[in-house]
Structure 1
Amino acid sequence: MPGNVRPVTDERDALLAFLEQQRDVLRIAAYGLTEEQARATPTASSLSVGGLIKHVTATERGWMDTVLQRTQPVTQEQLDKYGDDFLLGADETLAEIIADSRRAAEETEEIIRGIPDLGRPVPVPDAPWNPKDIEAWSVRWVLLHLIEEIARHAGHADIIRESVDGATAFELMAGAEDWPETPWIKPWQPAAVENS
């Protein structure tokens, strides 16, 4: 993934390309992390890089359920568990979370490619955080909202990652994609392990 989105051919292609770019930069924040580092919460928040990837994946699937009208009203049990998707379980690995993120992206792409009209109404689900005075959004609105949601959390992940080991977004991107070193950027590499 280069630092910018590739040229796009039309609105649908643009929305999907920008959505994928945001997913990629979020995943890049996890590049080279250990399992412990993926769970680390080194900032004032309780967020971790791995937890953010897990949350974004669940959120994306939830929005695709909404687009396909497979959602049910939010239950009290779901409200009580709000935020659980920000945490990696003891049995979850970073590799599994990233692989699931990729599967969700493929699912979204397939769903969106199968919808002829991005203006198709998407009924607003009954949830405490949704407006009560709007009956429907559009598929286009949902995609723009997903881009915004993932971009917000990609920014969180950048800050958390820099707090974990000092790595910054473009250094990580350069390391993950094997860019050549230049005067303005040195690709990230794991710190050398010293022998005792």
Structure 2
Amino acid sequence: MTTSESVYTAGEKDILHTSLDRHRDAVLWKLEGLDDEQLRRPMTPSGTNLLGLVKHLASVEYGWFVESFGGEVEPLWFDPYTDDDLTVGPGETTRQILDFYGRARAAADAVITGRPLDALGRPGWRDHEVSLRWVLVHMIEETARHAGHLDILRELIDGATGDHPRTAATGTA
């Protein structure tokens, strides 16, 4: 992957991967400084919470990147084809979900770095092939969408907003 300065002139794959990583990092930043109750607190009538969104993103990274391209997905303790991947049960720990997201990211990154953008995969739940390029764009959209949800939920919890930490002196990154 490229450095932050060279991403503006990098190749397509590096630009897409860097964009995905930026949104992934924003997702994790939205959790910083919150306690377990705040991470699990249902913030919408449907029960959406910060930690549930991270669990969902881990699940879809495994599905779209790893499963679609023939990789081995770790055994899941929930059904990823139901809303189980958006909820956090009482027996699931914050560390378990964060570690799951880290492993999913690493497995997805291995697929991204190990295949060309034109590589084709077949999601088990679809009847057609997808290119790695398409999956990267889709996962940028998916992660950015949920990072936006996380931003709103975090603002409702403690007022924090934005997609990256601000410095105290200037208010900028």
TM-score by length of 1: 0.73
- CA separation of 1:107/1:123 partners in 2, compared to 1, >3 Å: closer, same or farther? closer
Q: In structure 2, list runs of 5 or more residues that go unmatched.
A: none
Q: In the TM superposition, what are the counterparts of 1:20-39 in structure 2 within 5 Å?
A: 20-39=21-40
Residue aligning to 2:165: 173
**Cα-to-partner distance string for 1:96-149 (whole Å, 9 max, x where unaligned):** 32232222212111122111x211222354x3xx5x6xx322111011111111
TM-score (norm 2): 0.81
Tell me the distance in 2 between the aligned counterparts of 1:45 and 1:159: 15
Post-superposition shift, 1:20? 0.8
Distance in 2 separating the partners of 1:44 and 1:181: 38
Identify unmatched segments of 5+ residues in structure 1.
72-76, 188-196
Runs of 4+ in structure 1 over 4 Å off? none
Count of residues in correspondence between the two structures: 163
Q: 1:13 to 1:27 in 2, by over 3 A?
A: same
* Cα deviation digits, residues 47-101 of structure 1 (max 9, x gap): 1011101110011011121122769xxxxx958x611111122232323322322
Q: In 1, Cα distance between the equivalents of 2:5 and 2:46?
A: 34
Q: In 2, distance between residues paired with 1:53 and 1:85?
A: 9
Structure 2 Cα separation of the partners of residues 78 and 103 of structure 1:
18
Larger radius of gyration: 1
8 Å CA contact 1:20, 1:105 repeated in 2: no
Distance in 2 (alpha carbons) for counterparts of 1:92 and 1:181: 38
User: For residues 134-176 of structure 1, what are the alpha-carbon distances to aligned partners after superposition, in whole Å with 9 as ceiling and x for unaligned?
Assistant: x322111011111111111100011111111111125x622xx
What is the percent sequence identity of the aligned residues? 34
Aligned to 2:97: 97
Map of 1:11 onto structure 2: 12
Aligned to 1:121: 120
1:181, distance to aligned residue in structure 2 (A): 2.3
Which runs of structure 2 are paired with 1:44-193 in the superposition (5 Å)? 44-63=45-64, 64-68=66-70, 78=79, 82-115=82-115, 117-125=116-124, 127=125, 130=126, 135-169=128-162, 173-174=165-166, 179-182=167-170, 185=171
Change (3 A) 1:141 1:186: closer
Pair 6,145 (structure 1): closer, same or farther in 2 beyond 3 Å:
farther
One-letter amino acid matched to 1:92: E
Q: Quote the RMSD (CA, aligned, Å).
A: 2.6
The residue type equivalent to 1:169 in the other structure is G
Distance 1:44 1:169, change over 3 A: farther
